[in-house]
Copies of this chain bind each other. A is one copy, B any other.
Amino acid sequence: MRILLTNDDGIHAPGIHALWRIFDDWADIFVVAPDTERSATGHGITVHQPLRVEKLSFANPHCHGWAVNGTPADCVKLAMEELLKEPPHIVISGINRGPNLGTDVLYSGTVSAAMEGVIYGVPSIAVSVTGWHTVDYTVAAETTRLLCEKLVARGLTPDTFLNVNVPDLPRERIGGIQVTKLGSRRYQNIFDKRTDPRGRTYYWMAGEVHDVDAGEGTDIQAVNAGAISVTPIHFDLTNYSLIQEVSDWLGRESSPFATKRKA
């Protein structure tokens, strides 16, 4: 087994080390991760400046690591195209410090790395713990290993990965695993407007989370109820249900370009 690990908290973050340890006896581990924290980078890739890669050395001959001055998606691309001799059997991104629930997944570097994995046709998992401070990654690491074994044994359709959120609770209070859909959340009072010592305005983005849809079956509801949430996520963003409707309201007669095609 070859496992590619990445994250958006940076290669020195404790979450990725917890993954490393749990898979140590099971697979060759390839860590390709950002050299510093890159959270909220979304699915950004680095095309306007060069990427640098630093090889790390490990005592364990089954561990290989590279730090990259790029985003999580850059890391997966570099791993697949340049750094690994053979493709991995699975890509795991995390363990992220903080939740990636509902609409959050659009902004998440952690999630984008798993999406990049399935774009390459490799089964992938993104995993986060919902706590921000003094986080215990043990349950999340064990859950990831369990899911990994299932994923390798059973497979998924090639365009879909699993987004996992583990509540920040003691093991004995974790309420099972629920397979969920994404809920919907927004942030309120997003900007903290300040004045710098020279009198100029600047803004910090922060904000309080507001759950627009935390209803039955959502990832948000599962985590709020103390369960581990597992959401199957795919990268086809087409809203198929609207293709006919938009076609109807465009109509042939309404388009200035509809009849101008030359054979």
Please give the residue numbers on chain A whose beta carbons come within 8 Å of chain B beta carbons, in ascending order. Answer: 37, 39-48, 50-53, 71, 73-74, 77-78, 81-82, 103, 105-107, 112, 115, 119, 139, 142-143, 146, 150, 154, 156-157, 159-160, 162, 171-177, 179-182, 186, 190-191, 193-194, 200-206, 226-228, 230-240, 242-247, 249-250, 252, 254-262
Q: Are B39 and A42 touching (Cβ within 8 A)?
A: no
Number of copies: 2
Cβ contact of A257, chosen from B74, B139, B258, cutoff 8 A: B139
Beta-carbon nearest neighbor of A120 in chain B: B186
| A53-B201 in contact given A82-B193, A239-B157 (Cβ < 8 Å) | yes
Q: Are B42 and A45 touching (Cβ within 8 A)?
A: yes
Q: Are B77 and A190 touching (Cβ within 8 A)?
A: yes
CA distance A240 to B233 in the complex (A): 8
CA distance A121 to B213 in the complex (A): 14
Beta-carbon nearest neighbor of A185 in chain B: B119
Q: Are A237 and B182 touching (Cβ within 8 A)?
A: yes
